[in-house]
A and B are shown apart, each in its own frame.
Chain A
């Protein structure tokens, strides 16, 4: 039985990514970000989301893609997983899409520099469109941050 699931679609370096809609709290326009010292470079700092302080990370930096200047289209997607609430800075976010579960395939072994463990699958939409689905648990994993810290010391 193919199940339908809703995903939020966002772009990052001209590629399209998806996050399940129930993991996404809100999508925000850019707000001033307060830098937090002594954190990995991809941790941009913290923002005030209606009275709650939420850390934001640059998803480009997290995936090792070159960081670019923020634009009018840049968005912060607030996701909640693993008991954590984190904001992702993405190039743009503008669509909600239904994806049938039987169109999702396992991620190929090597995929554009992004480690396969950050991805949960690739959905084929129509003939030419590919949507990369994120494995939030891995993206939010703190292990690497801890490793980076130890390396830094």
Chain B
């Protein structure tokens, strides 16, 4: 069987399930009593197991199988979660993630799981020790009465029937020549679980997955979906010979209850089971009553969108999106060219057509750019787990509050922003939040809070990391900066508070007294800053001693198409990103004065430096000294302004960013990239940040 074509689906889905496992485990840790979360975790683990087994990743399957055993006990109220179980399960998730990562990298997905499996087994045994007999009895019962429902399952059935669900007894038979019975069965279960809930299966789900069944299996099932829809869904799975749906009503349910009662009286061992189930009943019953309604609700609500949503989204290879983007950018270049030609030709119908095309392509541009937008959630969702582990290892209590995870950013930005964020969050937890004793001493609550916020503003996305820790100790920062030679004593005197804060981003700076393995190696924050600048972003920090620090990252919405001002310099054309232009205007040569050897002008009651672009780029055929009046662009970097002298303005344009090619990338300097103009020529994009010191 050709597995490769399923591999990418497996990887995608495995990642999704791992993510959901992680998220729900964290939620469960907050509310350990909530059985509905256990149900979700169980289902994810279960699906993952089925997928792994089908793809032949035995270690993955083995580990998930044991996890499932533990979770099964929990969801049936036979085991309650405790710290040890949480830790073990989290370790399991790490191991699973490592194995899936291995698969992604082309490995065999093998991993050392025996220890974890033993630990899980110990948990199952440890809690189940007294009821060992019950387990044996369970088996016996399974053999003697193949599809007998226990009381819990009966009550689930009857309750869901009361709340308007339909119950069915479904008998599925696979074809004789079916090669992968387990896979087909898994697909059937997939259909079933999407539309409702399997109450009981025979043979057991585990046995079915290990292909321990002949040709047919049967389930008790509750759903709100129509019988016909269900039958149709199951028969659509290939290699299924027949599906028999028998509705279960109240009378037949009562009958179902009876054989169990009689079977109890036949065997002592089974009596014990009954006792065991009864002892578990008080725990299970309320959860069934509350959960019954609750569970029905999510099932119903998830069924409805699933019906609509499933065909509405498709997975698309990122490369295809990239090539779509490339093709579109060529179209954009041609559009600009056509507009130029049309204005030269001056024919009405041509101009109209070109204008219409321009409008359509503007819409198209919006859609193409939106296609590449991804919610920051995909980066944020690994942080809760990270913060939890960090806080644990540092013996701190930290709450991570995520706001605005649905904010969308270009995929290229998303890919790059992960590492800087990891670093800032580690920093916040390690250096920002104080140890518990210190917090109590300072009169704060012992749980520190880290806010992770994302929001749109104008053409930018802001990501903020704010904690309520000790804040930046400015005198100490200054002292270290001077010691490390980042600033001189003289310079230090003139720095504003925010400028002092920014010193922590300087290369080779670290204020941590102790070097820990989490952060504080003195590399990092400068890397964070340069990474963010390379994305066209900007990072700033605000801090109040004693009450916390806020890091704010400003990022461009997209990196591929920007609005720019095109200018001419003799025979050469350059582009300035519009986002950093404050104003354009002209300046008389006589207004440019020199101050201490630097050329400056008066600009709206302040004095700003003058930069000659022609001198900076060694323009071959333009000198601004010859002119009496020069055009200028006032640009901004942070709160600093500068006037850049240019020859002539061409106009404002949407331009497509193109890299200069690897060969030249390292020596870019004042050029940040290139774009292709309407006439097919390449124009270089000036990096305004490099013009302001």
Contacts and interface: CB of A to CB of B under 8 A. Distances in A.
A32 B572 CA distance: 11
A51 interface: yes
Nearest to A43: B664
Contacts of A31: 680
Q: Indicate the member of B662, B666, B669, B670 with the most A CB atoms within 10 Å.
A: B662
Contacts of B666: 142, 146
Interface residues of B, number: 28
Contacts of A146: 666-667
A47 B674 CA distance: 10
A37 interface: yes
Given A51-B329, A53-B682, A36 B572 contact: no
Contacts, number: 78
A140 B667 contact: no
A30 to B, nearest CB: 13
Contacts of B682: 34, 45-48, 53
Contacts of A145: 667
Interface residues on A, range: 20 to 34
A55 interface: yes
Contacts of A45: 682
B667 A38 contact: yes
A32 B571 CA distance: 12
Interface string B270-300: 0000000000000000000000000000000
A83 interface: yes
B646 to A, nearest CB: 14
A16 to B, nearest CB: 25
B664 A36 contact: yes
A8 interface: no
A50 B661 CA distance: 14
Tell me the interface secondary structure of chain B in the complex: mixed
Interface in A103-153: 140, 142, 145-146, 149
Interface in B666-685: 666-667, 669-671, 674, 676, 680-684
Nearest to B613: A37
B617 interface: yes
A45 B616 CA distance: 17
A55 B663 contact: yes
Interface in A35-75: 35-39, 43, 45-48, 50-55
Interface of B: 326, 329-330, 333, 572, 616-618, 620, 658-664, 666-667, 669-671, 674, 676, 680-684
Given A85-B663, A142-B666, A146-B667, 11 more contacts: A38-B618, A38-B669, A39-B664, A46-B664, A46-B684, A48-B682, A51-B326, A53-B658, A53-B659, A54-B661, A85-B661
Interface of A: 31-32, 34-39, 43, 45-48, 50-55, 83-86, 140, 142, 145-146, 149
